[in-house]
Chain A
Amino acid sequence: MSDSFEQIQAARRARMQAGLARRYAADRRFRLLGLSAIVFSALVLAFLLVSMTSNGIAGFQRAELRLTVPLKGTVLIDPSRLAQADPLGGLESAGLPMAVDGAADQAFGAGGAGLLGNSAWRDLGQAIIDKPAMLDQPEATVSLPASDDLASAMRGGGEPALQATAKRLMNEGKLVRAFDWGFLVRSDATSPQAVGIWGALKGSMMTMLVTLLLAFPVGVLSALYLEEYAPRNRWTDLIEISINNLAAVPSIIFGLLGLAVFLGLFPNWRSAPLIGGMTLALMTMPVIVISGRNAIKAVPPSIRDAALAMGASPIQVVFHHVLPLALPGILTGTIIGMARALGETAPLLMIGMRAFVASAPSSFVAPSSVLPVQIFLWSDEIDRGFIERTSAAIVVLLVFLLLMNGLAIYLRNRFEKRW
Chain B
Amino acid sequence: MNAPAPAAAPAAVFPDPVAEAKISAKNVSVFYGTKRAIDDVSIDIPRSYVTAFIGPSGCGKSTFLRSLNRMNDTIPGARVEGEILLDGEDIYRSKMDVVQLRARVGMVFQKPNPFPKSIYDNIAYGPRIHGVTGSKSELDGIVETSLQRAGLWDEVKDRLSDSGTALSGGQQQRLCIARAIAVDPEVILMDEPCSALDPIATARIEELIDELRGRYAIVIVTHSMQQAARVSQRTAFFHIGKIVEYGTTSDIFTNPREERTKDYITGRYG
Contact = CB atoms under 8 A, between A and B. Distances in A.
Q: Does a CB–CB distance below 8 Å link A and B in the complex?
A: yes
Interface of A: 232, 300, 302-313, 316, 320-321, 325, 417
Contacts of A305: 71, 74, 109, 113
A67 to B, nearest CB: 67
8 contacts: A303-B113, A305-B109, A306-B109, A306-B179, A310-B125, A310-B183, A311-B129, A311-B130
A311 B109 contact: no
Contacts of A308: 71, 74, 102
B217 interface: no
Interface in B63-77: 69, 71, 74, 76
Nearest to B107: A309
B69 A312 contact: no
Contacts of A300: 113
A303 B179 CA distance: 13
B115 A312 contact: no
B109 to A, nearest CB: 6
B109 A310 contact: no
A2 B44 CA distance: 83
Given A302-B111, A316-B129, A309 B116 contact: no
Interface string B109-135: 101011110000000011001100000
A348 B180 CA distance: 55
Most B CB within 10 A of own CB, among A232, A306, A307, A320: A306
A362 to B, nearest CB: 46
Contacts of B176: 306
A417 B130 CA distance: 30
Contacts of A306: 109, 113-115, 176, 179
Contacts of A309: 69, 71, 102, 106-107, 109, 180
Given A305-B109, A310-B129, 17 more contacts: A302-B111, A302-B113, A303-B113, A306-B109, A306-B115, A307-B125, A308-B74, A309-B71, A309-B106, A310-B126, A310-B180, A311-B101, A311-B102, A311-B183, A312-B125, A312-B129, A316-B129
Contacts of B69: 309
A303 B71 CA distance: 13
Contacts of B76: 232
A310 B74 contact: no
Interface of B: 69, 71, 74, 76, 99-103, 106-107, 109, 111, 113-116, 125-126, 129-130, 176, 179-180, 183
A311 B111 contact: no
B98 to A, nearest CB: 8
B85 to A, nearest CB: 19
B174 to A, nearest CB: 14
Contact of B115 (A232, A313, A321, A417): A321
B225 to A, nearest CB: 27
A305 B74 CA distance: 8
B114 A310 contact: no
Contacts of A304: 74
A131 B65 CA distance: 81
A232 B107 CA distance: 28
A305 B103 CA distance: 13
B113 to A, nearest CB: 4
B40 to A, nearest CB: 26
A42 B233 CA distance: 71
A27 B107 CA distance: 57
B102 A325 contact: no
A282 to B, nearest CB: 32
B71 A310 contact: no
Contacts of B179: 306, 310
Contacts of A311: 99-103, 126, 129-130, 183
**10 nearest A-B residue pairs (beta carbon):** A311-B103, A309-B107, A302-B113, A311-B102, A306-B113, A310-B126, A311-B99, A313-B99, A312-B129, A316-B129
A136 B109 CA distance: 84
A313 to B, nearest CB: 5
Most B CB within 10 A of own CB, among A308, A313, A325: A308
Contacts of A303: 113, 115-116
A325 B114 CA distance: 13
A320 B106 CA distance: 19
Contacts of B103: 310-311
A263 to B, nearest CB: 44
A77 to B, nearest CB: 66
Most A CB within 10 A of own CB, among B71, B102, B109, B183: B102
A11 B180 CA distance: 73
A325 to B, nearest CB: 7
Nearest to B176: A306
A318 to B, nearest CB: 13
A13 to B, nearest CB: 51
B102 A310 contact: yes
B68 to A, nearest CB: 11
B236 to A, nearest CB: 21
Nearest to B73: A308
Contacts of B130: 311
B45 to A, nearest CB: 17
B251 to A, nearest CB: 31
B113 A320 contact: no
A320 B125 contact: yes
Contacts of B101: 311
A307 B115 contact: yes
Nearest to A313: B99
Contacts of B100: 311
Contacts of B71: 305, 308-309
A304 B73 CA distance: 13
Most B CB within 10 A of own CB, among A305, A309, A417: A309
Most A CB within 10 A of own CB, among B114, B129, B130: B129
